[in-house]
Structure 1
């Protein structure tokens, strides 16, 4: 059964939060997107679309202040999310810090988990829908709601615009998982892609200081080595993953590795060698569940 077609039915959605002030940090982030485009770090399509982004609908962000994270360690690792900070009498403006962000309180009901990306996310969503744990991945609905947003052949330059669109419709995320980039990868010279990835993750880190951001490592897009171009692609993929692991550590973003999904395991890919099979999607889902367990979301 093909796994990259239309999207499956979503689970029940929590109600939107009551009206209030828009997220000023996110507006600042969108301004940064435009600035990045002027420096040549974003494609022309992304820049043009970013300049047309409307003002966000006035509403209160659902993020909740938690304990501060410490300075990033050498290896990205989990940070407990079940500690709650005393509320301030008067809300103070947040200063977005890459190594001193705030954590959400995931013990409150109906926290948001966004899983956003390309056909890998799309295939995993369809597989999860038919699995024992369902689209919630085994997480009780009383604790969090898992929102899937996969798009076939989605490019990296679409990420911030897609997240902006989701932001209009959903409460702010407590956890944001991003899997994207295989459709942008070239056999050589991926400097622009690497810079865009770093730039956009840095923007998101500042726009969502209370959110756990998880960057999911790139997966091979074929299940066999047939020609020299494929070997170059694998080398480029490994280089991107290595550099992004280092950068995620610097800006306090969790790096999620998929070490069990490799190009020599042909059974993990569909016959066209461009998307995950059921077995491959199962492993991807298990990796996501593993990292979410580190953040005590399962109860």
Structure 2
């Protein structure tokens, strides 16, 4: 067999002559080859500065604004908050018109004391379970009611009770007094000539009490809650005379207090003719009577809180629970 010719050694392929591959943007060995494709012309400095004002131009603008405002400024206006008192915020309306507020109105919470006999005590117990609540829905008027009812309370006990309360609480904004019914003959055998049956004696006592209360509570509005009628006056022989005494005392105290800046609350629906308003004892109020009592009390306090010019609530002739109140 013919002998195979020895092959020449393989020449290096052209692959070895290729330039090495460059990955991920590697820089070529020849700097002249890379300068052209990757060169980035920077933005000329003149193009970035032409949109801004120089310090001299800023000073000229500030000077022009100052001249327009009537201020003789020579320095550029500083960029800082205005000093206090330069009117950075609008002035509140209250400070511009202080006379709009009433003389007896206050901005803080207002406390109302209701002081009286068992009528007040029973009304408080009834109010807690009713739709009104113990505060008679006066929270929206920023007012709070503090009830102090004592069974059998008489006029002579009012001042001592107020002194006791002042030891633990501040003076109230309003003081409602519902007392005096037990001073109209409360003892058996009392006759028309006795001191319990004389309206003049009871009026003198109430006048003295009111004068002392004004000294104890000089900034408090005193409100007289009229003495309610009764189907039967305990211990009274002449029932019509007892009723006349009640009416005279209410009229006297109302006139006296209104003249001194006080208020007066009436209960026109609580009348002897409306027997359903009273309990079987013919003295205290029934459920319907307490509803009417609380309604008129709430209506009056609401009117007094909203308008200081209101002296009597409800006014004469305004009868019936259908009256609208806000």
TM-score by length of 2: 0.56
Q: 1:216 to 1:204 in 2, by over 3 A?
A: same
Structure 2 unmatched runs, 5+? 1-99, 186-191, 307-324
Deviation at 1:222, TM superposition (A): 2.0
Residue in 1 aligned with 2:142?
143
Q: For residues 9-48 of structure 1, what are the structure 2 equivalents within 5 Å? A: none
Q: For residues 1-299 of structure 1, what are the structure 2 equivalents within 5 Å? A: 83=101, 103=104, 105=106, 107-109=107-109, 111-140=110-139, 143-186=142-185, 188-222=197-231, 229-296=238-305
- For 1:135 and 1:230, the matched residues in 2 are separated by 34
Is the 1:223–1:269 Cα contact (8 Å) retained in structure 2? Answer: no
Is the 2:230–2:272 Cα contact (8 Å) retained in structure 1? Answer: yes
Is the 2:199–2:248 Cα contact (8 Å) retained in structure 1? Answer: no
Higher relative contact order, structure no. (Cα contacts within 8 Å, ≥ 6 residues apart)? 1
- Give the CA RMSD over aligned residues: 2.4
- For 2:105 and 2:217, the matched residues in 1 are separated by 10
- For 1:195 and 1:282, the matched residues in 2 are separated by 32
Q: 1:218 to 1:142 in 2, by over 3 A?
A: closer
- For 1:275 and 1:195, the matched residues in 2 are separated by 26
Q: Which runs of 4+ in 1 moved over 3 A?
A: 296-299
Q: 1:287 to 1:240 in 2, by over 3 A?
A: same
Deviation at 1:138, TM superposition (A): 0.3
Is the 1:104–1:211 Cα contact (8 Å) retained in structure 2? Answer: no
Is the 2:181–2:228 Cα contact (8 Å) retained in structure 1? Answer: yes
- For 2:301 and 2:258, the matched residues in 1 are separated by 18
Residue in 1 aligned with 2:30?
none
TM-score by length of 1: 0.61
- For 1:132 and 1:166, the matched residues in 2 are separated by 28
- For 1:116 and 1:104, the matched residues in 2 are separated by 22
Is the 2:278–2:289 Cα contact (8 Å) retained in structure 1? Answer: yes
